[in-house]
């Protein structure tokens, strides 16, 4: 896809009510260009003296995946949770998106909303996108919270990734499938596989030393997909990185252990840059 700056894109807004996010603080927003429609859940009523928080979901799932942790933050913080193009309620006519395309598109979306100096929270594959964004668009990023960050070098094949994902299934809350299954069918297996292969082809380790922002790398003690060893190794390679291990947490800790993760996000928001 072509890279275009926010100034050259004709954006069109539509505000809606999201039935899955009933609190009065939240607005659902459709934002449309010629080839892509973004959907985002936004709570802009938090404290203006604190940095905004942008949450980027992982493979297949949508921003709805963040609801449990968002509900623990939305009384205080300004939260912006987009569905990435091709996932959830966001659509695109562009067939193939690289991780760099996603990172630049998120940056354009953030510029449009005036979200400079934000705390970026990524989950799983979303971590790879926001580490790219932090290097390519550093002015937008105050700090990073990298939650269960892919790709663990120990998972070097589709078969190994699939085996680890199956191990994670019984460790998650059963209610997560009410989000995961509809989101999978919205994205479709082709786009899901394309995104997974893009993540596998991304050499994230080569840019970690270029990330200057404070970064909390968060791992779950019981996550079979992302090992504690990788979380600690990744944090050590980021100049201002720190590993945080949540006891008893599995891969989808933003859903299954939202209280603990909300505390980590609070820490990132209040930390001195």
Give the domains, in start order, of the chain with CATH numbers.
Answer: 6-270 (3.40.50.1820)
The answer to whether residue 200 scores a pLDDT higher than 50 is yes
The answer to whether residue 1 scores a pLDDT higher than 50 is no
Give exposure, 166-183, as e/b (b: 16+ Cβ within 10 Å). eebeebbeeebeebbeeb
Mean pLDDT, range 203-228, rounded to an integer: 95
Q: What is the mean pLDDT of the chain?
A: 89
Closest CA to 195 of 91, 84, 107: 84
* pLDDT value at residue 15: 60
**pLDDT per residue over 65-78, tens digit each?**
999 999 899 889 99
* pLDDT value at residue 5: 41
The answer to whether residue 8 scores a pLDDT higher than 50 is no
The answer to whether residue 21 scores a pLDDT higher than 60 is yes
Most confident residue range from 38-47, 121-130, 170-179: 121-130
Write the CB contacts of 266 (distance below 8 Å, at least 6 apart in sequence). 73
pLDDT > 90: percent of the chain? 68
Q: Residue 117 has what DSSP assignment?
A: T
* pLDDT value at residue 16: 62
pLDDT band, very low/low/confident/very high, at 17 (cuts 50, 70, 90): low
For residue 184, the SS3 value is helix
Compute how many other C-beta atoms are within 10 angstroms of the C-beta atom of residue 88: 26
pLDDT band, very low/low/confident/very high, at 28 (cuts 50, 70, 90): confident
Q: Which of 48-52, 59-63, 200-204, 269-273 has the lowest mean pLDDT?
A: 269-273
The answer to whether residue 22 scores a pLDDT higher than 60 is no
């Amino acid at each position: 896809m072509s890279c275009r700056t926010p100034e050259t894109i004709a954006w069109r807004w539509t505000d809606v009510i999201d039935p899955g996010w009933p609190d009065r603080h939240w607005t659902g927003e459709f934002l449309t260009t010629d080839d892509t429609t973004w959907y985002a859940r936004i709570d802009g009523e938090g404290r203006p003296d604190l940095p905004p928080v942008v949450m980027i979901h992982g493979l297949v799932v949508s921003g709805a995946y963040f609801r449990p942790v968002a509900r623990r933050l939305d009384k205080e913080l300004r939260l912006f949770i987009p569905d990435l193009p091709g996932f959830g309620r966001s659509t695109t006519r562009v067939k193939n998106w690289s991780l760099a395309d996603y990172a630049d598109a998120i940056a354009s979306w953030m510029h449009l909303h005036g979200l400079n100096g934000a705390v970026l929270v990524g989950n799983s594959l979303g971590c790879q996108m926001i580490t790219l964004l932090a290097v390519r668009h550093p002015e937008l990023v105050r700090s990073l919270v990298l939650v269960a960050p892919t790709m663990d070098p120990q998972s070097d094949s589709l078969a190994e990734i699939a085996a680890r994902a199956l191990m994670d299934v019984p460790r998650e809350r059963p209610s997560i499938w009410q989000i995961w299954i509809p989101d999978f069918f919205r994205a479709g297996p082709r786009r899901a596989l394309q995104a997974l292969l893009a993540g596998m082809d991304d050499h994230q380790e080569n840019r970690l030393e270029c990330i200057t922002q404070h970064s909390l790398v968060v791992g779950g003690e019981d996550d079979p997909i992302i090992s504690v060893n990788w979380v600690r190794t990744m944090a050590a390679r980021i100049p201002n990185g720190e590993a945080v291990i949540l006891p008893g947490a599995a891969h989808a800790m933003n859903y299954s252990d939202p209280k603990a993760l909300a505390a980590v996000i609070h820490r990132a928001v209040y930390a001195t840059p």
